[in-house]
Structure 1
Amino acid sequence: MVDRPNKPMALATTPGLPPQPQVNFSHGNSRVTAVLPTGDNVTILLYGATVISWKNRFGTEKLWVSDAAKLDGSKAVRGGIPLVFPVFGTSPDHAATSKLPQHGFARNSRWEFLGKSSSESAGPSDSSVKLDFGLSSATLDDSVKGQWPFTFSLIYSVTLTPESLSTSIVVTNDGDKPIEFQVLMHTYLRVDDISKIQVTGLEDSPYVDKVDAAKTKSQSGAVTITGETDRVYTPAKGPSHAVVVSEEGEEVFTVVRDNLKDVVVWNPWTEKAAGMGDFEPKDGFKQMICIEAGAVNGWTTLDAGDAFEGAQTISD
């Protein structure tokens, strides 16, 4: 081979293409992080397919995660966006899910990373990246299969843009008998001061007040947090109508749902936070509010061979 002294250098990037979103694994391949050319980034723990960080281009964290959260796969994460499936809370009177632990098994199972897709154009503000994760009856632990013996598959997608974070789930009944389930995206949003927060978009909506003997009530005006709050709303204006979190009159988060009819609003306040071993700091409830999109007021029935899809988009 002739050594040419003036041979061209290898090109580090393909000319003419805009910067691409980057996807990296860390912590022994237990976490996936996607970074947009703008600097916006998201990190997902494969245990539970739990989103544990969402930062904008300035490095500002949008999600609240407890300082004592277990991120080693030993238990469900306190904070971020845990995925609740196939039961919300516990349901001892519902035969199919009566044996399952609190909030089901999705947040306690290791998911498979199925890959990424991205879209780019000449402008970096149009770039996005979608990460797909999978869980099925075939990959569940045997102990869980015994608790919920249905044949199913889940695909959970996390899509990051410079303006928003979307999470969506597709539930497919791969068996020959109907499945009844509940699903919820248990989103912990980070705020500066819970006493200055107002939640709008839930006006005139019925809700179940789990702090007051599960009484059914109706929301009058904006929601404010002044004590322990645990409410399941079915918004009167439907999933496409935004639920808005404002702080001192300025919108900080907007949540729009697709085919998820319910919204849970949760804050543990002083006593509840003090009683949770993985909730730190104990006054951390002042910097978080859970706005949780789901289908949990009743049960969704999925016939054999059918699929259900639900999603939320959070804009900041």
Structure 2
Amino acid sequence: MVDRPNKPTALATTPGLPPQPQVNTSHDNSRITAVLPTGESIEVLLYGATVISWKDRAGNEKLWVSEAAKLDGTKAVRGGIPLVFPVFGTAPDHAATSQLPQHGFARTSRWEFLGKSTSESGPADASVKLDFGLSSNTLDDEAKKLWPYTFSAIYSVTLTADSLGTGIVVTNDGDKPFECQVLMHTYLRIKDITQVQVTGLEDSEYVDKVDAAQVKTQSGAVTITGETDRVYTPAQGPAEPVVVSEAGEAVYSVVRDNLKDVVVWNPWTEKAAGIADFAPKDGFKNMICIEAGAVRGWTALEPGDALEGAQTISI
């Protein structure tokens, strides 16, 4: 046997990539799930690009979804994060959107999964971003007839160890301008609505939709003691956190980017009783909607213009 003085030696350990986020599509191609190496997870329905689950590493659910929610694509999901576009509520006096169903068609259209991007850092800093697309080309015929504008939208959902981010870019791809509204209708899960305070809205003007759409100014922290449906324009601007505290302890912090408004909603007893897909009927005790959007007035997009808006919810 010939002696080989320069014979290569095996490495003691073979270096490998750190654990990466796992992204999977369901067997029926209806939803996308992502799990970080540290255990945090999200689940997104392609119907509406609706985030229907966000869990921390211990498996605790952070979003509220009605037990009677339809997850089969037959109607908008009651809970999670439905995406509102191109109209908030209904707008009978706004010609372009007057025929659209409540909250528009984004939450009831099937979005295309465009792909994922993940961080290359260690497990503790891992993140995953899921991108979804909707355009005038992929809308169903009914929606095209009701809103005959040429557009494209990309919606991104980003999960980190301690936050969930959602962001949208809507581009006017046509040759005529259009006006739109956008909102992320986030249902946050809490333990006891009577123990909740919302701060960051002090001294802010709001439209009280439970009181004949009167314009009021918030004094102190927001507490929920009955049906609440308010559209705030926070005085401190989008970068100032809107914080949800429970029994004096901060549980969620919402920071917005280019979305000037925040809707605070809780149906309380009578309203919840009248909503067919709201269950259990006392579920209002365990949820509060903090909804980032641009819904007081309209955003006008000229041909080639884009509307960008995002939120980051930290725990």
Would you say same fold, with TM above 0.5? yes
For residues 20-99 of structure 1, the aligned pairs below 5 Å read 20-26=20-26, 28-99=28-99
Q: Distance in 2 between matches of 1:75 and 1:308?
A: 26
Matches within 5 A, 1:93-242: 93-121=93-121, 123-242=122-241
Counting matched residue pairs gives: 302
Q: Quote how far apart the aligned CAs of 1:26 are.
A: 1.4
Which residue does the alignment assign to 1:277? Answer: 276
Equivalent position of 2:287 in the other structure: 288
Distance 1:127 1:120 in 2: 7
Between the aligned partners of 1:268 and 1:15, the Cα distance in structure 2 is 54
Counterpart Cα distance in 2 of 1:249 and 1:176: 52
| Bigger Rg, which one | 2
CA distance in structure 1 between the partners assigned to 2:216 and 2:30 by the alignment? 42
> Which AA in structure 2 matches 1:181?
C
Separation in 2, partners of 1:308, 1:106: 15
Taking the aligned partners of 2:110 and 2:209, their CA distance within structure 1 comes to: 30
CA distance in 1, matches of 2:177, 2:198: 37
The range that moved more, 59-68 or 302-311, is 302-311
Q: Secondary structure at the match of 1:263?
A: strand
Aligned-pair CA distance for 1:306: 1.0
Distance 1:285 1:58, change over 3 A: same
Which residue of structure 2 aligns with residue 19 of structure 1?
19
| Paired AA for residue 113 in structure 2 | F
Q: CA deviation at 1:27?
A: 5.0
The equivalent residue for 1:4 is none
Residue aligning to 1:251: 250
Corresponding residue number in structure 2 for 1:3: none
In the TM superposition, residue 264 of structure 1 has moved relative to its aligned partner by 0.1
Q: 1:15 offset after TM fit, Å? A: 3.5
1:229-248 Cα shifts (integer Å, max 9, x gaps): 00000000000000000001
**AA in 2 matched with 1:89:** G
Out of 22-31 and 73-82, give the one that drifted further: 22-31
Amino acid at match of 2:263: V
Partners of 2:269 and 2:29 in 1: how far apart?
Answer: 36
In the TM superposition, residue 25 of structure 1 has moved relative to its aligned partner by 1.2
| Counterpart-to-counterpart distance in 2, 1:84 and 1:33 | 22
Secondary structure of 2:169's counterpart equals strand
2:17 and 2:66 map into 1 onto residues whose CA distance is 40
CA–CA distance in 2 between the matches of 1:87 and 1:27? 33
Query: How far apart, in 2, do the equivalents of 1:254 and 1:269 lie?
Result: 23
Residue in structure 2 matched with residue 264 of structure 1 by the alignment: 263
The AA in structure 2 aligned to 1:34 is A
**What do you get for the CA RMSD once the two structures are aligned?**
0.7
Q: Which amino acid in the other structure matches residue 29 of structure 2?
A: N
3-state secondary structure, aligned to 2:222: coil
- Deviation of 1:177 after TM superposition, in Å, equals 1.1
Distance 1:165 1:179 in 2: 30
User: TM-score, with normalisation over the residues of structure 1?
Assistant: 0.95
SS of equivalent to 2:188: strand
Aligned equivalents of 2:17, 2:143: Cα separation in 1: 46
Matched residues, percent identical? 80
SS at match of 1:143: helix
Q: TM-score, normalised by structure 2?
A: 0.95
Partner secondary structure for residue 62 of structure 1: coil
